[in-house]
Amino acid sequence: MPKIAFIEHDNTEHTVNALAGQSLMQAAIDNSVPRILADCGGYCNCATCHCYVDDRWAASIPPAKHPELDMLSGAIDANGNSRLGCQILLTNELEGLVVRLPVSQI
């Protein structure tokens, strides 16, 4: 049951107990984390689960592939740490993962 910290652009932090095997997006939705909208339900088709993986964790998560990369190329305020939460599968090894949420996602 990894603990995940979602940090909004104004530094408001939401730490949740996630489940190994669920997506980062689902952990946010299940815990009512704001700014993760997941309009497409996790089908990598909306980018409303856009988040920034903290530098310390970037190497611990498999890199983005197609079609996630295609969606991120059109996401507002995307940067090198951008990921789609629905494409990140949580594991117990991600205990303490920190992700930040874009200001543009309201």
Measured from the CB atom, the residue of 30 and 39 that comes closer to ligand FES is: 39
Measured from the CB atom, the residue of 18 and 86 that comes closer to ligand FES is: 86
- The candidate with the shortest Cα–Cα distance to 27, out of 1, 45, 47, is 1
Measured from the CB atom, the residue of 49 and 90 that comes closer to ligand FES is: 49
Closest contact distance (angstroms) between CB of 5 and ligand FES is 19
Q: Please state, in angstroms and as integers, the Cα–Cα distance from residue 65 to each residue in 31, 69, 71, following that order.
A: 27, 6, 10
Q: Give the type of residue at 30.
A: D
Closest contact distance (angstroms) between CB of 50 and ligand FES is 8
Tell me the C-alpha distance between 94 and 66, whole Å: 23
Closest contact distance (angstroms) between CB of 96 and ligand FES is 22
Residues of the shown chain interacting with ligand FES in the complex, contacts defined by CB under 6 A: 25, 38-40, 42, 44-49, 71, 84, 86
Closest contact distance (angstroms) between CB of 74 and ligand FES is 11
Other CB atoms within 10 A of residue 14 CB: 17
Contact 25, 86 (CB under 8 A): yes
Measured from the CB atom, the residue of 42 and 102 that comes closer to ligand FES is: 42
